[in-house]
Amino acid sequence: MSTAAQSRREVLVVGPLEILPDDNIAVADGRTLMLSIREFRLLTELARRADRIMGREELFRLVWGRDMRSGDRSVDVYVRKLRVKLELALPEWRFIHTHFGFGYRLSAER
């Protein structure tokens, strides 16, 4: 790959977390996280909009590629799984913040 192509590659950084969407890799403090494809996509979409509250329906549409059905709790389930993995990798940090009635926000906070 050329140097120009490498410089255009998307790299998302949120505190000690680095996400490389083109490579499907997330690195926490130098260690690669083992994430499912849905967990990785969820993390990527949240990181692309870091510090912004995203509604469950918007996240579902971005990650699953379709509209969310009424009563679907998939986003909540995957947020919980992702939180556990992030907290195990970086216990002193909190990344995914819940805003009840609004959605979720990704921000690195100690």
Domains of the chain, CATH where assigned: 3-109 (1.10.10.10)
Alpha-carbon gap, residue 22 to 100, rounded angstroms: 32
Helix (H) or strand (E) holding 103: strand 103-109
Q: Identify the burial level of 94 via C-beta atoms within 10 angstroms of its C-beta, where 0-12 means exposed, 13-18 middle and 19 or more buried.
A: middle
Which pLDDT score, from 0 to 100, does residue 102 have? 96
Query: What is the average pLDDT across 32-58?
Result: 98
Which pLDDT score, from 0 to 100, does residue 27 have? 98
User: What is the reported pTM?
Assistant: 0.92
Name the nearest CA neighbour of 46 among 97, 92, 85. 97
Task: Please say if the pLDDT value at position 2 is more than 70.
Answer: no
Q: How confident is the model at residue 7 (pLDDT cuts 50, 70, 90)?
A: low
